Structure 1
Amino acid sequence: MSKYLVNKFLFTVDRDPELVERYRDDPRATVAWWEATQANTLLNCVGAEASTWLRFEEAEREALATHDHPALFALGAHPFLTLTLFIALFERDHEGLEYQKWYGERLSHFSLPYPDIAT
């Protein structure tokens, strides 16, 4: 599993309002597009530098494509990256802190020690 790649997806999508909307409207296609075109670009580097081997595993791809934040958490995605992106995606559909409370409730079955988030 590549926690780095999942976290890179969460980080880069969250920082681009157009990608946030694209991911909200068509998550499966956005994940496929991002994996094919962005996964192997290096963060904070010139476009000519890239790797060639990074790919999501099927469980990662499916969790991202279905907005399944508990599965992402179980896979080791950083909870702050997941939370900030998912707030951008779904908070507008809820009043007050309803979304954040629902988000937390869906993670309530996890107990210490939490999944390792080190990359």
Structure 2
Amino acid sequence: MSKYLIDKFLYTVDRDPELVERYREDPTGTVEWWEAEMANTLLNCIADERTTWLAFDDEERRALREHDHVALFQLGAHPFLTLTLFIAMFERDHGPLEYQKAYGKAMEHISLPYPDIAT
């Protein structure tokens, strides 16, 4: 499991409005494309600087494909990254603050100690 890679996915998708829409409409295709094309590029570096070892495991892929923010949190994804991306994708389908409240309600069964979200 790579908390870094999950957070990198959430961070990079959230900062590109076209990727936000792509991930909303086609999560499976977006996760597959991102893992193949973007996962091994170094953040904030030129495209020629790449690594070769980063990949999602099956549980991470499933959580990303299903937009499962609870599972992502339990895997160690930073909650601010999932919240900001998922607000961008889903808030428009709800009234004011409805999505944020539903996001929190879905995670209320999780008790301390929370998963480690340190990077």
TM-score (norm 1): 0.98
1:24-66 deviations in Å (ceiling 9; x for gaps) = 0000110000000000000111111000110001000000000
Between the aligned partners of 1:9 and 1:63, the Cα distance in structure 2 is 12
Shift of residue 112, structure 1, vs aligned partner: 1.1
Gaps of 5+ in 2: none
In the alignment, which residue of structure 2 is the partner of 1:15? Answer: 15
The one-letter amino acid paired with 1:60 is E
Shift of residue 78, structure 1, vs aligned partner: 0.3
Aligned-pair Cα RMSD in Å:
0.5
- Aligned-pair identity in percent equals 73
In the alignment, which residue of structure 1 is the partner of 2:41? Answer: 41
Query: Residues 27-66 of structure 1: matches in 2 within 5 Å?
Result: 27-66=27-66
Shift of residue 87, structure 1, vs aligned partner: 0.2
Between the aligned partners of 2:48 and 2:100, the Cα distance in structure 1 is 39
Query: Residues 68-107 of structure 1: matches in 2 within 5 Å?
Result: 68-107=68-107
Gaps of 5+ in 1: none
**Aligned pairs, number:** 119
Moved over 4 A (4+): none
Between the aligned partners of 1:111 and 1:34, the Cα distance in structure 2 is 32
Between the aligned partners of 1:62 and 1:37, the Cα distance in structure 2 is 18
